[in-house]
Amino acid sequence: MADRDDLPDDLKKFRESYVELFGTLPPMPAARFAFAAEVDPEGLRLVEQLRAHAFHSHVFDAKTTNLILFGMLLVERLQPAAQVHAFAARRAGATWEELQKVVELASATGALVAANTGSGMLQALREKEKQPG
């Protein structure tokens, strides 16, 4: 159903927004449209409304949104999704330097999570050991 013209107009519009952003319909949303449009079109509609509200706002432009998503997905180690958002950021005007800075931020964040968590655990253990008996 995702590739056919029998989708309701609002779902067609949501599907087309991926093509506008990425130049094609990526595999993950394509699978979601293929399955959910047939099994639960209202659920798909709700998911796509949330996505549209979050991804297309007056707060961030498309480049900034996709740079943020690229970094978030890198941290989560979701390479295919991160890659499509890097591509979308480039299509929206992101430079290689901006994308590299996002990689550096994601790398530093990942390292700092372990450092902060580990140090916090050790500090709590040290405090516990100081307590009498």
Over the chain (133 residues), what is each successive 10-residue block's mean pLDDT? 72 93 89 94 96 92 95 91 94 97 92 88 94 86
* Domain match, 51 and 79 both: no
pTM across the whole model: 0.75
* Domain match, 37 and 81 both: no
* Domain match, 9 and 50 both: yes
* Domain match, 21 and 70 both: no
Indicate the residue type of 2. Answer: A
* Domain match, 2 and 33 both: yes
Which of 19, 35, 56 lies at the terminal end of a domain, its last residue?
Answer: 56
Residue range of the domain that includes 38: 1-56
* Domain match, 71 and 123 both: yes
